[in-house]
Amino acid sequence: MTKEKLVLIGAGGHCKSVIEAVEDSGLFSIVGIVGEPGQLNESVLGYKVIALDEDLPRLVKEYRHFFVTIGQIRYSTPRVKIFNILLELGCHLPVIISSKAQVSKYSKLGQGTLVMPFAFVNAGVTIGDNCIINTAAIIEHETCIGSHNHLSTGCVVNGNCIIGNNNFLGTNSTLLNNITVGNHNLIGASSVVVKNVGDHLKLFGNPATIIGTSNE
């Protein structure tokens, strides 16, 4: 089977994780990476940085498939910016699922979303666009997740939860059943969310309590 050509956007540490997931999926052939000026002509796991952000209008004339490989530590703004530029340019942003992940055939994933190894996405789950479902994260049945969220390594979202947009859930954080989380929140590592969360908040602890506001 001929593999589709794929361009990655972002040449940092997260890019390395995505490269392996792309290779695992067996669906795409990476032709290069778009990076920052100081990274031009460098390589990430053997793939060359071939262009800068300003070259995207030229690249879309040659390639169709693009994927955002900028990480999301705390805030989603850089990923959202590039994602929207790619949409405006008419790019196709595929879903990338590691062959080592378990994703139910009864789930739905939005464009540009990544599912990393040993993650589990159960039946009835919906996930929006441009999300990172990181290594060993678990999303249980009938949970609805919006766009531009990062569920970090080992994160657990139990059944029938609702998560809005632009949230960061830290490593090993847990949402109990039927929890609603709004938009632009930061939930710290190992926190346990036992009640609904509004917007633009920072939470930490077990049980998770509000420790500040998120300024994204």
Q: Locate the domains of the chain by residue range.
A: 4-88, 96-207
pLDDT at 49 over 70: yes
pTM, two decimal places: 0.96
pLDDT of residue 99: 95
Average pLDDT, the chain: 96
pLDDT of residue 178: 99
Summarize pLDDT for 131-169 with one digit per residue, the tens: 999 999 999 999 999 999 999 999 999 999 999 999 999
pLDDT of residue 82: 96
**What is the pLDDT confidence band of residue 1, given thresholds at 50, 70 and 90?**
low
CATH number for 96-207: choose from 3.20.20.70, 2.60.420.10, 2.160.10.10, 2.60.120.380. 2.160.10.10
CATH number for 4-88: choose from 3.40.980.10, 3.40.50.20, 1.10.730.10, 3.40.50.2300. 3.40.50.20
DSSP state string for 136-184: T-EE-TT-EE-SS-EE-TT-EE-TT-EE-SS-EE-TT-EE-TT-EE-SS
pLDDT of residue 39: 94
Q: What percent of the chain has pLDDT over 70?
A: 99
Summarize pLDDT for 8-44 with one digit per residue, the tens: 999 999 999 999 999 988 899 999 999 999 999 999 9
Distance of CA 19 to the CA centre of its chain: 14
Q: Residues 140, 158: contact at Cβ < 8 Å?
A: yes
